[in-house]
Every structure is written in C-alpha cells, then in structure tokens.
Structure 1
Amino acid sequence: MRGLGQEGAQEGPQEGAKEGAKEGGPLARFIEAARRRVAETLTGVERTRATDWDGLAEAIRSGAAYLAQGSVYSYLRARTGMAGPRLFQDEGFAFALDICKWEGFACAAQDLILILEGDLRAMDLGPRDRLEESLVALYEAALAREPAPAHRAKQGWSDVIAEFRLRLADALAAPPRKAEDISAATARRLMQHAPVEEAIRVSDIGMVLNNVGFRFVDYKRRMREDIDYPAIAAAIAARASDAP
C-alpha cells in the first residue's frame, strides 16, 4: 500500500480528509488494506494479486461468484424472512435458486470485465478489433473455470458469450460508464431468475438495483487492490496482439 504522500500532508485537515476519503485516496487505500488483513486473518487464506492472464481470469470468476451469490442470498433472505430456512430446503426452490445464481454469475462476469476495461481505457490495450477478441476470450476463460451447471449442460454458455460480444462492442464505442450503471445488468438478470412472483419482481427491482450497484462499487475498490493494473494491461495487450 502506498503511504500518504506530500500532497496529502500539505493539505488542510478538511481538504486532506475529503481527498483521502475519495475512491482510490489514501484513506480508502488504508481501509481496503485493513480489510484485506482482517479477511486473511479470519480465513487463513492470503489473497493473491492478479498479475497475468490466468490470474485475471480467476479474479473475474471469483469476483462474479462472490457478487452474484451474495446479492441473491441477501435479497432472498430479506424477502422471505422467517420462511427462509424452510424455503431454502425446498427442492424446487433450491433448483430455481441455483439457476438464478449461475445466470447472475455469468452476467456479473460480463459486468466486471466491462468495469475493468473502463478502468484500463487510458492504457494501450491494442487495436479495438483485437481488444474485443481478447476480452471475449477472457470472458470465456472465466466461465470455463467453473463446470457447466446442470441447466446448461447441453447448451453451455454460447448465448451469454454472444450477448457479451454485443455489450462489449457497445461499451468500447462509448465513454466508460460507472460501475453502478454497468451492474444494473446483473441486478436485472438476478431478478429475472429469482424464485419470486412477478408482482414481487416488479416491486423489488429498484431495491435490488441499488443493492447490487453498491456491491459492485465496493468491489471495484477491491479489484484495484487485487489486480495489478499495469501488468494486466500488458497481458491483455499481448493477447490482443496475438489475436487473429
């Protein structure tokens, strides 16, 4: 973690505090580093930093799983209340929940790559057409790190890969978007498959959009700690230069 630089030391108390609290500021970096140490102490597992292609694919996979599962479980526990424990043991509910988690995972992986690309936009990632192929390959690599779920045993992920290709083309043609705006796709995908009635789906979408957006904004800060951006930019550019 980088220490507080001279710029922060020269500011007045209010200005320094405001700057430190900004995303990526000294205070935000300190808090994230503290969170990292607490997590490593509690789990006994040291979080590794992604510095190459394989590490990046794993970071996307693990991040998408964390966000999708955390979001849907949080929502359903709040929505089902006291009936939750019984519902979660119901076979039909559990199967529908499993589909929801997997579909949310696939969409969350798309969103994380789009967020990452926006963060790296200022770096040289190679020609746009080759960059597209490189990032699609990254998405495929992240999905491939998990076995295909039962409901996709036959079709695989071909439809969501095609979907991502279209989303990526649109994203590259426009200015980078905020994480909370990009993540609306995951929120809507989760609600599309959530095992709730349609009326509840409609009434709760705003709450879920806010919740998922907050989770992605928070996770974006974690990504900046867990991913070596310059090294990853070089890895993406190298993969793009090798693309046909």
Structure 2
Amino acid sequence: MKLLQKFFRPRPPIGDREALADFIDAQSAFIVQKGIYEYSRARAGHYAKVLFAEEGFAQAVERSRWQAYPLGLAMVGEMVDGVLRPHAGTQRRAVLDRMILVVLSVFDRYPVPPSIGEDAWLQARRELEQRLDLVGGHAPKRVMDIPEPLAETYFAMMPIHEKLRGRDFETIRNYLRVSLCNIHDELVDRIDAAAVTNTLLA
C-alpha cells in the first residue's frame, strides 16, 4: 500500500527558481536518454541485452547521452520560456535572460564528462546559451515545433552506426515532438507561472 501511495503521490508544485531548475534538469535528461535507450534497443532487437552488455557500446551510449543533454536543455528551456512569457509583460526579455541563467546553472551542476572532454563540453555550453538567446527574437513556437531545428543533430548522436539507422529520422523527430508536448503538459499542471516569473525578476 505504501508503494502505491508513493506511486500516485502528486508531484510537487513548481513555484520557485530551485524547483524550476530541478524540473528542467530531470526532463532534459529524460527526453534525450529515453530516446537513445529505446531507439538502441529497438534497433538491436533480440540482441539488445548482449549489445548493452558490451563495454564498447556502453561507452558509446555514455558519450551519446552527454552529447545530447545540452540539446534537451535547449528544448526544455525554450518550452519553459513559452509558458512564462505571458506572465512577463514588458519584462519578457529580462525573464528570458534569468531563465537562461537557470538553464546554464543546471548545465554547470555536472563536471566535464570524460567521454566528451573539456573543450567540447564548454563549446556545448556556449551553443546552448546562444540557442536560448535566440528564443527572444521570435514569438513562442508551438511546443511540437521546438525540437525541429535540433532533431537531425540528435538523430546523428545515436550510438548506432549510421548505415544501420535506415530511414528512422522521422520516428526520432516524432518521438521528440510527442515527448516535449507531454513534458509541457506536466509543467503547466505543476507550475505557478506568475510566482516563478516574480522569483526570476526578484
């Protein structure tokens, strides 16, 4: 019974900067890692357990998930901006700038992944900041359209040889679109957008 109570316990509301950062972290990691693992298992078929047990493939997965994590941050960060912007009024640029700092603080929670290296990791941080900065130059996108500019890059990061990927790009793109829409629905259910906006501006 306690297990069921824990499973069905409502998720905590998001009302401040720290809770927002935790949400961005968890959902960014979830969207990219779930796609990597599920696609790899689907491609490996009956040999999935054998493949995942191989050290070389495990290292490739580790590299892929760290490469993809900044893309997850970019997608979830842009989605968060779309939720907060209606509450920002004339301060929408200021809210975006502070939201970018939140996303970068999430990135900075993690040491340089050995599979990536310091130079590439710092470059990924710069690209993440640039992507989020550009969000302020246009109206909020539909959530399902946010992954579009990053989908091909994400697909190229899959730890499966490109000759074995076939015509799976559309599957991966649709996965990103559906997953981000689900994350958006959860955010809307949990966030006090006005309170978070005020916290970012304080």
**Same fold flag (TM > 0.5):** yes
1:111 to 75, 78, 82: 75
> What does residue range 1-244 of structure 1 map to in structure 2 within 5 Å?
41=5, 43=7, 47-124=11-88, 126=91, 128=93, 130-155=94-119, 157-185=121-149, 187-201=151-165, 203-238=167-202
For 2:177 and 2:16, how far apart are their aligned partners in 1?
27
Contact 2:100 2:133 in 1 (8 A): no
| TM-superposed deviation, 1:199 | 3.1
Q: RMSD in angstroms over aligned alpha carbons?
A: 2.4
- Structure exhibiting the larger radius of gyration computed from Cα positions: 1
SS for the counterpart of 1:150 is coil
Q: TM-score w.r.t. structure 1 length? A: 0.72
- Listed one character per residue, the Cα deviations across residues 44-64 of structure 1 (whole Å, up to 9, x for unaligned) are 876222211111111100111
1:155 alignment partner AA: D
Q: TM-score w.r.t. structure 2 length? A: 0.86
SS for the counterpart of 2:141 is coil
Contact 1:103 1:189 in 2 (8 A): no
Contact 2:62 2:115 in 1 (8 A): no
Unmatched 5+ stretches in structure 2: none
| TM-superposed deviation, 1:191 | 1.7
- Listed one character per residue, the Cα deviations across residues 129-173 of structure 1 (whole Å, up to 9, x for unaligned) are x44532321111111333432224533742222212322232211
Which one is further off, 58-67 or 152-161?
152-161
2:200 alignment partner AA: I
Q: Which has the higher contact order (CA 8 A, sep 6+)?
A: 2
| TM-superposed deviation, 1:108 | 0.7
Among the aligned pairs, what percent are the same residue?
Answer: 23
